[in-house]
Structure 1
Amino acid sequence: MNQTNAAPPAGPPEDAEPGLIDTVPGEDAAAAESRHDEDDRLKPEYVSAVREAVEQGDRDRARELVSPLHPADIADLIELTPAEERADIIAALGDLVGAEVLSELNEYVRDDLIEALEPQQVADLASELDTDDAVAIIEDMEEADQQAVLDAMEPEDRAAIESALAYPEESAGRLMQRDLIAVPPHMNVGQVIDYLRDGQRLTTDFWEIFVVDEAHHPIGTCQLSWVLTCPRSIPIADVMKREQTLIPVDMDQEEVALRFQKYALISAAVVDAEGRLVGMITVDDILHIVQEEAGEDILRLSGAGDGDINEPILESYKGRVRWLLSNLVTALVASTIIGIFEGTIEKMVALATLMPIVAGVGGNAGSQTMAVTVRALATNQITASNRWRTVLREIRVALLNGSTVACVLGIGVAIVFGNIVLGGVIAAAMMANIVTAGLAGASIPLIFDRFDADPAVASSIFVTMVTDSMGFLAFLGLATAAGLTG
């Protein structure tokens, strides 16, 4: 797929200003700049101009406005257009909305577009893309629609996509490209260069060459810079780097991203269960994964579902309401504790005023610790060797935080209410709750991770329950024990 051997287009001139490279012949830099703001986003007036041209039926004007854009910017333009107008804009732009634009679109917007296309049209677009991008377009389709698209593809392209779809979702097998350059170790540098120049079906985008043995096992890599700067007579086996990072085909994409980050990789070989080279993953694919995984963890912590503004309202509702109902259950636990001390609260109304402070600050302290722990787990900073050392570290931080906040709050309450005992009670309760929050925020994600559950999904609910319940229990329990009756 996408196996043409054409030379890549020339880059922008050396004196071109950043952000102004989307120009067409005869267009000045000011015209290009008028489309984007200082943050490289399409300006509202530009989007309105395109929409107006389409609404007036002036397709030539619409195409003239859009033709200088990069495919990613055309995708942004479509996403910025109201849903009910997207079909008209896509129809007006015609072939400007090609395969690259399709691969850049938000998945919800892309799904709507694909539903409006015939299977043959989807197949033609997918065939123009690298395998990983084509799989991303096809994998979420209904089974019947997916099969119709596959049936419309060329046998070679269909086989590559079917092979990728056989791997688990969000695995290296789904992410990898199958177009790569692999050579045997007996070739010399000159023969490799001649092979690259003469090859008619070689991929055009690669940074290194993989060296494989007779069984197609990768035994080394060779950067293009090494090939181009070495004498032709030197064997490629003498130039290649034998140490390499191999990616198992079933490895989760988040772990793949961590490997790229840890070892500063530009590309890496993907191998099957027998160790044979079956594809490669490049850093441009990883950038998407890093953004996707980071955003996914944050949204899971907040219970916001996919958190996509293009997500259908009903799906957003389903994703969020489950979280809110779970929070309702945990809130009932805290409410029950308050009910136990109803008599104490009635005798001293100030307790009702101060309760939310203890619970709220404790909840924030727990959220801080939980966020740090979840991030450390996601980036492999926490392992079995330092797991409980991390918990003890967070408890020490909580002791320092608790001491500071408890002193400030206790003194303030004693002065405002003129009650030293009340100040001491709320200081002790605050100290206890912040320490408990540190323990819960660090240990709960670790417990979920220990049992192979995603700590980003459910940790927040339990941490909130612990801090609210402990805050109310400590404050009202200490107030009762201290005999505060007003």
Structure 2
Amino acid sequence: MNETELGSIDATGQLDADDRLKPEFVRSVIDRVEAGDADGARALVQPLHPADIADLFELAPAEWRPSLAAAITDLLDGDVFAEMNDYVREELIDALEPAQVADIASELDTDDAVAIIEDMEPDDQREVLRAMEPDDRAAIEEALSYPEESAGRLMQRDLIAVPEHWSVGDVIDYLRGNEDLTTDFWEIFVVDPAHRPAGTCQLSWILRTPRNVAISDVMKREQTLIAVDMDQEEVALRFQKYALISAAVVDGAGRLVGMITVDDIVHIIQQEAGEDILKLSGAGEGDINEPVVESYKSRVRWLIANLATALLASTVISLFEGTIERMVALATLMPIVAGVGGNAGTQTMAVTVRALATNQLTRSNTWRSIAREIRVAVLNGGTVAAVIGLGVSLVFANPQLGLVIAAAMLTNIIVAGMAGVLVPLTLDRLQQDPAVASSVFVTMLTDSMGFFAFLGLATAAGLAG
């Protein structure tokens, strides 16, 4: 791309109709970096939102990311790193000095700073923390002391808390007279003398209430409190269930230690939903920026597990070699029974895993859910069995073969429905993630039962006699 073409790129038209960076814009920035024109690259990137700058790094070839970072260093603030893909961010962080990482982390809310620092090597982590201001270091060290993916890691510590004996006027004066207070908030937490949450008060209520009214008369006493060690997935479910905008986080003694806001929860919901889908397929984290070796390691073990289940299914087939030799049509029809059963099991398994993840399926409605899935399986099995039975009878001019495959199909779909709900439930009761291993067991059961039912019924009916 020559200079004329580079200059023709409109710096205000970087995004397409779907708010994604245009390929020609990304190429233009990389071409300027390659040509050593840092000022030109910076001029193109400067109008972008931090999230779009983060996208630019993800879209840029990996070998050009360090050079791009060097060209636009002054634009790489904490907001950009907070929006960046984990793998891309780690790659860039590794290239920075501890003092630079400390400066970036100091610009962020505690939860975003923790997200940057928590995945660093212990030695690098200690160097970065030593380079930070004491207050920032203490907040991050406290957050790192909580379990991964817990509310303690997720929460923000910059919040507004006022005593319950204050008036609305006291609160307004406090907010106006303290420049060090956080500026991004829409809800104030009211605490008792022991610093335990007593209620919450929206800014709109404060602005519309006379100054002499006690804040305790304005606040809402009913609130959803989040334990500091609660898993982030459970936190997200609380926000979803109670339509929360923010929630107080409390320690073991019930004292207010932070807050979680809905913008963090949107990210968590997306992350958890994506993880479950990827776990069902055995695809690991499924990130296109994940190193090839890590993707290989996360996927190959499930392929090996599937290989083992396939060997089990082939063992079932070997039991009926004589039957298959005498009637070749059976070999043609076997994959249909196993394949449709596998799809039926996957449907039920996906519904069950989602229900478990969203707390729709609990101990109180387990048997009702199992009965429901069995009824659905019977209806599906009956319909599919009728279609395949009629089709095979007509194609092979063998009504008996049609009845056999219909019976096998009905049996396998019912088994698939039961496996699709019972396998995830069993794993969940054993405190194992049902999204991880369910597909392996369900596939094994549907394949083995499909082959066994079809070939067994064919043998019993004397079709190959």
TM-score when normalising by structure 1 = 0.93
Gaps of 5+ in 1: 1-29
Distance 2:379 2:373 in 1: 10
Equivalent of 1:264 in 222, 227, 243: 243
Aligned 1:49-198 pairs, distance under 5 A: 49-198=28-177
Q: In structure 2, what is the equivalent of residue 222 of structure 1?
A: 201
Q: In structure 1, what is the equivalent of residue 284 of structure 2?
A: 305
Aligned 1:19-58 pairs, distance under 5 A: 31=10, 34-58=13-37
Distance 1:31 1:184 in 2: 53
Q: How far off is 1:34 after superposition?
A: 2.1
Distance 2:169 2:122 in 1: 48
Q: In structure 1, what is the equivalent of residue 446 of structure 2?
A: 467
The residue type equivalent to 2:392 in the other structure is V
8 Å Cα contact 2:11/2:44 also seen in 1: no
1:318 aligns with 2:297: yes
Q: In structure 1, what is the equivalent of residue 347 of structure 2?
A: 368
Q: What is the number of equivalent residue pairs in this alignment?
A: 457
Deviations 1:86-120 (A, max 9, x none): 01111111211111111111111111111101111
Distance 2:73 2:115 in 1: 22
Equivalent of 1:432 in 411, 418, 441: 411
Distance 2:385 2:248 in 1: 55
Distance 1:135 1:452 in 2: 28
The residue type equivalent to 1:473 in the other structure is F
Question: Structure 1: which 4+ aligned runs deviate by more than 3 Å?
Answer: 30-33
Distance 1:401 1:279 in 2: 50
8 Å Cα contact 2:164/2:191 also seen in 1: yes
1:405 aligns with 2:377: no
Q: In structure 2, what is the equivalent of residue 210 of structure 1?
A: 189
Distance 2:76 2:104 in 1: 10
Bigger drift between 58-67 and 249-258 goes to 58-67
Q: How far off is 1:31 after superposition?
A: 4.9
Equivalent of 2:373 in 387, 391, 394: 394
The residue type equivalent to 1:477 in the other structure is G
Q: How far off is 1:465 after superposition?
A: 0.3
The residue type equivalent to 2:167 in the other structure is N
1:353 aligns with 2:332: yes
Q: In structure 1, what is the equivalent of residue 456 of structure 2?
A: 477
Q: How far off is 1:63 after superposition?
A: 0.9
Q: In structure 2, what is the equivalent of residue 450 of structure 1?
A: 429
8 Å Cα contact 1:126/1:137 also seen in 2: yes
Q: How far off is 1:33 after superposition?
A: 5.9
Distance 1:322 1:454 in 2: 16
The residue type equivalent to 1:470 in the other structure is M
8 Å Cα contact 1:75/1:101 also seen in 2: yes
Equivalent of 1:254 in 228, 233, 253: 233
Q: In structure 1, what is the equivalent of residue 223 of structure 2?
A: 244
Distance 2:422 2:371 in 1: 10
Deviations 1:286-330 (A, max 9, x none): 011011000000000000001001000000000000000011111
Distance 2:76 2:294 in 1: 27
8 Å Cα contact 1:207/1:266 also seen in 2: no
The residue type equivalent to 1:38 in the other structure is A
Identity of aligned residues (%): 74
Distance 1:236 1:297 in 2: 44
Q: In structure 2, what is the equivalent of residue 200 of structure 1?
A: 179
Equivalent of 2:214 in 235, 238, 242: 235
8 Å Cα contact 1:366/1:434 also seen in 2: yes
Q: In structure 1, what is the equivalent of residue 6 of structure 2?
A: none
TM-score when normalising by structure 2 = 0.97
Q: How far off is 1:169 after superposition?
A: 0.1
Gaps of 5+ in 2: 1-8
Distance 2:46 2:12 in 1: 15
